[in-house]
Amino acid sequence: MAEIKKKHPPAGQFITTQFNSLLGWARKYSLFHYPFVTACCGMEYMSAACAHFDIDRFGAGWTRFSPRQSDMLLVVGTVTQKLAPALRTVYDQMTEPKWVIAFGTCTVSGGIYDNYAVVQGIDQIIPVDIYIPGCPPRPEMVLDGLLKLQDKIQHQEQDWRWKKKIP
Amino acid sequence: MEEENTLAVLGRRFPGRVREVLVSPGDEVAEINRQDLLEVVDFLKSAPQDFSMLLDLTCVDYAPGKPRFEMVYHFFSLSRLRRLRLKVRLDEAETRVASLTSLWKNADWLEREVFDLFGVVFDGHPYLRRLFMYDGFEGHPLRKDYPLRRRQPRIRMRD
């Protein structure tokens, strides 16, 4: 009887899971974000990122100012036609897996700027995962959007290197 | 002694060529002809008028009115603490006006902005090129005949 107990670890010291959800769990709490800040929504982004609302509580506090080191692109503020190629380049330089949050009405739909200069929603340029409307959105909405993105990451089919088909 | 208003001085210096639009203390507006512009502003900048500062320079499109465009210049005298607004009407057939870059350095970018958005050509400007819109942009977006929904994307849009 004593021998059997030695072979099995006591209850509560291990859990079973699937590799997919383990990877999702790891990824959703270690989002390195790249702030693509162009306009007034940047103030709300700063508010959400700093101590009062503290985006770091949700594991997304590490701001990287290089798209190559980040996996969450925060597009904050109006994107003009002139800027569109730059945003596309930033997105292309991010490594997989990557997610995009459209922060504020301008990035969602162009907002009040229905004119010759402004892109009518950044999803015309790059794929978007989460839309946060508001002009500007309050930090609570930003955090809610982040939680929704985490939920999406947890439940999506995880992509990892050795699973990919080699052409 | 009450200081004489600038419009009266201008009217005496350029008889028949300055049209008075509006007078109120500190807010005088005059309209002049296109060909008189450099002469008038040169007079205004020098003492005793001393409008040493060009506050702003912009354009208005009055389409379909004739003449269609109106250039508006805002001057300020630092020594006399006075403002003056000068207007020049431009016909659509010839949207050209003299550049003020030889007198005020800051006219450079202001005139490039007006050229970019309205298509007014400034004679004597050293580097008249678009300021806001990108290379390859067609037309002048603040003109009234620029289509409201016309977009000119630089990269291909996603479907």
Q: What would the pLDDT profile of A100-149 be if each residue is shown by its tens digit?
A: 999 999 999 999 999 999 999 999 999 999 999 999 999 999 999 999 99
Nearest Cβ partner for B134 among A82, A119, A125: A82
Domains of chain B, each with CATH number or no CATH: 6-93 (3.30.460.80)
Categorize the per-residue pLDDT at A47 as very low, low, confident or very high, splitting at 50, 70 and 90.
very high
Rounded CA-CA distance B129/B135 in Å is 10
A117: left (phi over 0), alpha (psi -120 to 50) or beta: alpha
Q: What is the mean pLDDT of chain A?
A: 88
CB contact, 8 Å: B156 with chain A? Answer: no
Q: Tell me what pLDDT residue A8 has.
A: 65
Q: Count A/B contacts: CB-CB distance under 8 Å.
A: 37
pLDDT value at residue A9: 63
Q: Do A81 and B141 touch (CB under 8 A)?
A: no
The model scores a pTM over 0.95: no
Residue corresponding to tokens 């465009």: B69
Give the CB-side neighbour count of residue B136, counting CA atoms within 13 A.
7
Distance from the Cα of B151 to chain A's closest Cα (Å) equals 5
pLDDT of A88 strictly over 50: yes
Q: What is the pLDDT of residues B48-89, one digit of tens each?
A: 888 999 999 999 999 888 899 999 999 999 988 888 999 999
Phi, psi of A31 (to 5 degrees): -80, 120
Cβ distance of B158 and A88 shorter than 8 Å: no
Task: Report the domain count for chain A.
Answer: 1
Residue A91 lies in a domain: yes
Question: Using an 8 Å Cβ cutoff, are B57 and B86 in contact?
Answer: no
Measured CB to CB, residues of chain A less than 8 Å from chain B are 81-82, 84-85, 88, 114-117, 119-120, 123-127
Instruction: Please report which confidence band the pLDDT of residue B11 belongs to, taking 50, 70 and 90 as the band edges.
Output: confident
Range of the structural domain that residue A114 is part of: 33-155
pLDDT of residue A156: 87
Q: What pLDDT, on the 0 to 100 scale, is given for residue A161?
A: 65
Residue B87: the pLDDT is 93
| Domain membership flag for residue A18 | no
Asked if A82 and B133 come within 8 Å (Cβ–Cβ), the reply is yes
Q: What is the reported pLDDT for A42?
A: 92
pLDDT of B122 reads: 94
* Among the partner residues A84, A116, A117, nearest to B155 by beta-carbon distance: A84
Mean pLDDT to the nearest integer, B37-44: 91
* pLDDT (0 to 100) of residue A83: 93
In three-state secondary structure terms, A109 is helix
Under 8 Å between Cβ of B70 and B48: no
Helix (H) or strand (E) holding A166, with range, is: none
Q: Would you call B154 and A81 a contact, using CB atoms and an 8 Å cutoff?
A: yes
Does residue A164 lie in a domain region?
no
pLDDT value for B1? 44
Q: So what's the pLDDT on residue A41?
A: 92
pLDDT of B6 above 60 = yes
Q: What is the mean pLDDT of residues A10-38?
A: 86
Under the banding of pLDDT at 50, 70 and 90, the label for residue A157 is confident
Pairwise CB contact (< 8 Å): A88 & B141:
no
Report the CATH number at residue A120: 3.40.50.12280
Residue A3 pLDDT grade (very low, low, confident, very high; cuts 50, 70, 90): low
Q: How far is CA B82 from CA A15, A111, B24, B74, in A?
A: 80, 40, 11, 11
Q: Rounded mean pLDDT of chain B? A: 89
Does residue A130 lie within any of the structural domains?
Answer: yes
The verdict on B151 touching A (C-beta cutoff 8 Å) is: yes
**Is residue A78 situated within a structural domain?**
yes
